[in-house]
Structure 1
């Protein structure tokens, strides 16, 4: 049986959406439309390398048309400033393209003018196989005068284009202004330290792509808040407050302690129980209250979780108090004494008791639903 040939789709990837900004369309489909866009873009931005990428895509289209099964061609734009958002938009627009074509048995040929666009291949692999990728490099021969002209054009682009100006002008401008202000008041060395710290943080953020990752996390969290119930939002708010309270309680209870034993005991006795109380309230508000409002009284699993958390809160509180009292008597502690403190404080007893209660609740939940299933049969 002869294997069915996949339909080739040539995607001209414009990750910063320069073509879309000029033509007003970020998804252009069909040879005629792509040709019109190429001419329009070349007239308005003749120096842009995206022009070469479009014509390279058209050249590939003609080659595939002569050798394969009815290819298609499209220009797909992303976003001007945010690389992560650009990849998301490109994926969504390619999905729209596939719906318009109506043929799911396809393969992609990617054409671009840089390395960033080829990263989109990892995103598009989820939609269809990548049959080939082509990076278009413009061949140029520049003399001294031409080199100065090209350098001047890049400098002008770094100043006028918001995508680049924030790095070439914005960040250096902040550092220079900070140095000047602090120098006026005589803090030259402090200014140098701050500038080095800010520059180091900036390099770390860009080097590990923290900016795009943070944007993705924040947009995902915002979407979650829009779609979730108000009980979940209230639970998250309570948990956030208790985490802050836990940190503050640990800090203010530990800053004046005399030795490491008292310090550790104070942290364990104050911070951890408050944090565990926050998780308990989160489960009660976001899970139990939500289920009750939906007339769902199956809350045994949540009850089991609460039993474990409460037992751990008591266990840590007792352990912390025991360590504090022991630290007031001695300045050092040995390994065997730590074991005795764990046992003598009741930490293990509370922990095991909580786990036992949770296990009994889980068993009751299992037996109850097993009986319900038998009755249904």
Structure 2
């Protein structure tokens, strides 16, 4: 099939996302043209008469004949796109690439998508990103509603679930594992209904929320970190350490706040009295800040230091901003630490008391230190700034 001339063109598209056509007949996509698609439909129907993709292929050929005989003036073509047996992203990329290949040789303005209804939500966005979809034609196989036919259909899908590896692991594998676990627990005298229900509940929870996929991505992320250059690994582990430090800080702050609240032993009447509630909230805030700020500040400083080292090694202009961020983090650490102590005072404090004086001194000294830091980095940047490049930092 050669390059089409300019004019109105309509493309009929069939998508076989799990590549039954390739697996069962050896035909690779894209399959373009009436005769090629008719041959593919016949061969697929002979290989597997129950495959719904064969019905979609026959319907597309029939639709092609109807449109070419209607003499609307449009040039019509039919194409079948195949994905991958693994489905997922690999199948979608194959469909996307084959569609672009077809459109390069037959640049249609719009298309008709012939579907069996199973993959509409997945495939439609891929097609619409390349060509406008004028119509979606769903092909369903007519079945008798008798009890006998219903049992035949049920038997067909049960057989598919047992023989197809994609479905067998859920229909046979998971129940088989649960039965084996029950037998193992019974050997040790632990086969109690509550324990079995616990294992079943955990299994359904992990499966329902796809926790296994998240764990897989986590281990993949650790593997990628191990393949990074040394500077990238330093930055990645600094972020992991910062995350751990942040969680520890939040845990210590919340646990200390809860313990302090319990020790106050406030009644429900006291909790609705503003004169008691406001000082209590301030005191609990002070406890949370005092107990958590050290680890939270360490988390922030780890992130700043890792970026400072990273930007310095790659000579990125953002290095100067990390100096400002580091000084600001240390100042906020000291300031919030003093604020936490101040908020825990049982009585209002005056400016002459040591806790209030230290808070004000920390605030003033912090502003002065930040000003000196900005001035120094401005001078250093004017001297050494040419050694650092502007623009987006490279990812390591």
User: Which TM-score applies when normalising by structure 2?
Assistant: 0.69
CA–CA separation in structure 1 for the residues paired with 2:61 and 2:226: 43
Q: Larger deviation: 177-186 or 167-176?
A: 177-186
Match of 1:241 in 2: 241
Which residue pairs with 2:200 in the alignment? 195
Deviations 1:15-40 (A, max 9, x none): 22222222334413222322222121
Deviates more, 1:229-238 or 1:248-257: 248-257
Structure 2 unaligned regions, length at least 5? 1-5, 261-283, 350-355, 387-396
Q: Secondary structure at the match of 1:27?
A: coil
Q: Residue in 2 aligned with 1:280? A: 304
| Partner secondary structure for residue 84 of structure 2 | coil
Count of residue pairs brought into register by the alignment: 343
The 1-side partners of 2:176 and 2:364 are apart by 58
| Residue 313 of structure 2 is aligned to residue 289 of structure 1 | yes
| Secondary structure class of the residue paired with 1:75 | strand
TM-score computed with the length of structure 1 as normaliser: 0.72
Deviations 1:224-273 (A, max 9, x none): 98998664454223322332344356657986785355454222211x22
Q: Which residue of 2 aligns with 1:75?
A: 80
Give the match for residue 53 of structure 1. 56
Q: State the match for 2:275 in structure 1.
A: none
Query: Relative to 1, partners in 2 of residues 1:175 and 1:345: Cα closer, same or farther, differing over 3 Å?
Result: farther
Query: Is 1:316 the counterpart of 2:333 in the alignment?
Result: yes
Look up the SS of the partner of 2:129 in the other structure: coil
- Distance in 2, Cα, partners of 1:246 & 1:321: 20
What is the CA distance between 1:197 and its match in structure 2? 3.4
CA RMSD of aligned residues (A): 4.4
Which moved further from structure 2: 273-282 or 356-365?
356-365
SS of 1:119 mapped into structure 2? helix
1:37 to 32, 35, 40: 40
The C-alpha deviation readout for 1:259-317, integer Å capped at 9, x for no partner, is 355454222211x22221232233234433123xxxxxxx4433214412441244135
Equivalent runs, 1:80-99 vs 2, <5 Å: 80-99=85-104
In the superposition, relative to structure 1, how do residues 316 and 51 fare at CA in structure 2: closer, same or farther (>3 Å)? same
Deviations 1:25-58 (A, max 9, x none): 4413222322222121111111111110011111
